[in-house]
Amino acid sequence: MALQGSLSELSLPDVIQMVSVSGKTGVFSVVRNDEVGKIYLRDGQIVDAAVNALRGDNAVYEMAIWSEGEFTFNPGEETEAVTIHLSNANLMMEAARRLDEWRVLSRKIPSLDLIPFFTSRDQSDQVTLSPHEWILVTRIDDEHTIEEIGEQLHWSAFDVSKLLFGMITSGLVALRSSTDEPRSESTPQGPSSVTLIGLANRIMSVALNVVGDSGQHTIEKQYARTRAQIEQGAGFDAIRTMVEQHSDAISLLKGADVAAMFDEQVRPLLGDTPKVPAR
């Protein structure tokens, strides 16, 4: 007989723990709105999980923070895939930790259906962002929800929310519902010019480190041109152009392999090669 219930009454980690101790084989189907996730058990051990674009441990952690939805456990249904190698105890401990952390995050992020947008800030107020925060910044457009941004980046909603929490706390980003009016034209469409110049500085430093003294003049000249463009409102487009120019210059001076190394270091800052944030 299938076991079923509501996540509003029982958290998923508690339900899985209850079933796994019995040593059963089967699958949990977890449904929230139009999202359907699967968690497979074999002899009580969790061996595979999937939801949206996530697979394995991250899929379990993603579903563990759901506070609404329905679950059903169907015994006997198996899978040949093995994407999870942690013990149930370690997996559930991490899932429970994330659930506790999510309760804190939800004070500022009550729903994943909210849309992040940049607030009006003093243009002289520079914000220091981590590489993963820069990747997230490139996806904030006052149109896509937190969950949609996570899907674009192949990140869990939890990871996106952790990064957004700091941006919201600092006043860089705010949230609106899909029924609210989009921001006015006077509201900035991205970080301030000072913050963007900070990113350009960071990219220039990477380029100088890679190319050495022989290319310093060229790199600094390209940076100066980009800085002027940013101050005139060019934004990310100017930074992308600068990266292309840096890459071309490094390729001419040091060869394609060194240019590729530069690209590998700076592309994540532009959101071109998204990766799951380090934990």
Residues 232 and 163 in one domain: no
Residues 24 and 94 in one domain: yes
Residue 210 three-state SS: helix
Q: What ranges in 28-142 are assigned the alpha helix state H? A: 57-64, 88-105, 131-137
Residue 93 three-state SS: helix
Q: Would you say residue 184 lies in a domain? A: no
Q: Of 108, 119, 125, 48, which is closest to residue 79 (Cα–Cα)? A: 48
What CA–CA distances, in Å, run from 18 to 13, 39, 87, 145? 9, 14, 15, 34
Q: Would you say residue 161 lies in a domain? A: yes
Residues 124 and 98 in one domain: no
Residues 14 and 93 in one domain: yes
Residues 98 and 10 in one domain: yes
pTM of the model: 0.65
CA distance 5 to 7: 7
Q: Would you say residue 110 lies in a domain? A: no
Residues 138 and 170 in one domain: yes
Q: Would you say residue 188 lies in a domain? A: no
Q: Of 7, 14, 25, which is closest to residue 73 (Cα–Cα)? A: 25
Residues 153 and 206 in one domain: no
**Single residue among 129, 148, 176 that ends a domain in this structure:** 176
Residues 218 and 252 in one domain: yes
**Single residue among 103, 131, 162 that ends a domain in this structure:** 103
Report CA torsion sign: 228, 233, 236, 237.
negative
Q: Would you say residue 13 lies in a domain? A: yes
| CB atoms inside a 10 Å sphere around CB 30 | 27
Instruction: Classify the phi-psi angles of 193: left when phi > 0, otherwise alpha if psi is within -120 to 50, otherwise beta.
Output: alpha
Cβ atoms of 60 and 99 closer than 8 Å:
no
CA distance 79 to 86: 17
Residues 8 and 82 in one domain: yes
Residues 153 and 91 in one domain: no
Residues 6+ apart with CB under 8 A from 261: 210
Domain that holds residue 30: 3-103
Q: Of 158, 164, 193, which is closest to residue 176 (Cα–Cα)? A: 164
Q: Would you say residue 32 lies in a domain? A: yes
Residues 53 and 128 in one domain: no
Q: What's the average pLDDT block by block, 10 residues per block, for the chain (279 residues)?
A: 82 86 91 92 95 91 88 92 93 88 90 86 60 83 89 88 90 86 57 76 89 88 90 82 91 90 83 48
Please report, for the domain that includes residue 132, its CATH number: 1.10.10
Q: What is the pLDDT of residue 224?
A: 92
Residues 222 and 159 in one domain: no
Provide the number of structural domains found in the chain: 3
CA distance 39 to 61: 11
